[in-house]
Amino acid sequence: MLIASSIILSRACNVFEASTNFLGRNMNDGVKGATLNAIGSSMPEFFTTVFFLVFATHQNLGRDFAASVGGNTGSAIFNSIVIPMLVIWVVLAIHSKGVRFSKKVILRDGLFLIGAESVLLILLSSSYLTFWHGLAFTGFYILYVSYTLFHMDKKKNDKKDYNDESPESWYEKYQFKSIKNRVGRSWILLLLSTIIISITCAGIVEGCKSVAEAIGINPLFVALIVVAAASSIPDTIISIKDARKGNYDDALSNVLASNIFDITISMGLPLAVFLLITGQKIDFIEAGPTLIDIRIMLVLITIITIATYYFSKELKTVHIIILGTLYLLFIVYAIGAADYYAEGNTFFAEFFGGIIEFLRKPGGIGDILQKIADYLTYNW
C-alpha cells in the first residue's frame, strides 16, 4: 500500500506543480517557492496529519498524533538535507558549477524556520494539547506568509511566454489547449490533484500503521523515515525542476517554506479543527516525551544546514558529502531509537537510549521544557 500510494502521489504532484507554476508565474524568485510551491508540495504532510487524527482510536490519539508529528519532523529533516543535496547534484551534472542561493532567502526563511521549530519544541512539551495549541501554530504561519508577501519585490524579470509551450502530458494539453481561461483550468487541475493527494495520503497512513504493527515498533519511527520520504516527493520534484530551470532561490525557498508549513499548518490546523469539533484534548504526557529527542535533533540539524547554506559561497560536491553524512546519521539514530523503545539490546539501542534517558530524566531538558510549556499554556 505504501509503494502504490507513493507512486500515485508522485503523479498527482506533477499535475500540482504544473498548476502552481502557471498560477505563480508573476511572482518573483523566492516568493513563489515560499508560498504556492511550498503550500502545494506540503499537502501530503497536511493530509497525513488529518488521517492520523481521524483514524485514531480514543486511547491511541496521543500516540497517533505523535506519529503524525514524527512524519512532519522527518519530512522537514529530509527536505533540509536530501533535497538540497539532490539540487546541488543535478546542477553540477548539468552545468558543472556550484549552486549559489540568495542570502536574503536563506536568512528570511531560515530564521522563520528556526522560530517555528522552537515553538514546536516548547508547545509539544505540554502535558495536554488543546485546539489553542493548533491555533498557535497556525498563527505563526500567517505571520510568516504576511511578512513574505509584504516584503515581496515587484517582478523584475520578463514574464514567461506560455504561448510557445509545447505540452506533452495530458494535463498540460488540457491546461494550455487555448489562451482563454488558462487560469481557470489551472485551478481545476490544482483541486483535482489535491483530492488525489489526499486519498493517497490515507493509504500512506494505513500502510505506516500496518508496517509498525508487523515489526512491533511505535508508528512514530515508521513515519519518521518512510512516511517522511513519501510525503516529501512533491518537494523533491518541484525543487529539482526549479533547479534545472536555474531558479535556485525557488528551489531552496520551497524546501524551507515547506518545512515551516509542515511544522505549523500541516500539524497545527488539523489539530485545531479536530479538537474544536470533537471537544477533546489530547493527553500528551506519555507521547510527548517520546518526541523530545527528535524535536531537539530537528532544531540542531536546521541550524547546521542553514549555516552551511548561508556561509558557503558556492555549494559543490563536498557539500553533497556533508549533507549525505548528516542524513545517514539521522537514519542510524532513528533506527537505534526505535530499537530502544522496542526494548532491544543492540549497540545503537543502548547508545542512543542513553541519550534519550538523559534528556528525559527528572530535572533534565525534557522536564524543564514541560514546565515552561505548562506555564505558558496553563489557561488553554
pLDDT per residue as tens digits for the range 184-237 = 888 888 888 877 877 776 677 667 667 666 766 666 666 667 767 776 776 777
214: cell is 508487523
The domain spanning residue 8 has which CATH number? 1.20.1420.30
Domain-embedded: residue 158: no
By percentage, how much of the chain surpasses pLDDT 70? 81
* Full domain range(s) for residue 182: 2-151+175-376
Residue 356 CA neighbour count, 13 Å, CB half: 19
pLDDT digits (tens, 9 = 90+) for 128-184: 899 999 999 999 998 988 887 777 665 544 455 555 556 667 787 887 877 788 888
Does the pLDDT of residue 291 top 80, yes or no? no
Instruction: Determine, yes or no, domain membership for 248.
Output: yes
Residue 243 lies in a domain: yes
Beta bridge partners of 128: 283
Give pLDDT tens digits for 20-73. Answer: 777 777 666 556 656 666 676 677 778 878 888 887 777 778 878 887 887 788
Q: Is residue 86 part of a domain?
A: yes
* Residue 170 placed within a domain: no
Region of residue 96 (left: phi > 0; alpha: psi -120 to 50; beta: else): left
Average pLDDT, the chain: 80
Does 162 reside within a domain?
no
Q: Is the residue at 169 inside a domain? A: no
What letters, b where the CB count within 10 A reaches 16 and e where it falls short, cover 181-212? ebeebbeebbeebbebbbebbbbbbebbbebb
Span 303-362, pLDDT tens digits? 999 998 888 888 888 988 998 999 899 888 888 888 887 788 888 888 988 888 888 888
Number of domain units in the chain: 1
| Cα gap 33→239, rounded to integer Å | 8
Asked if 74 and 225 count as a contact pair (C-beta separation under 8 A), the reply is yes
Residue 367 lies in a domain: yes
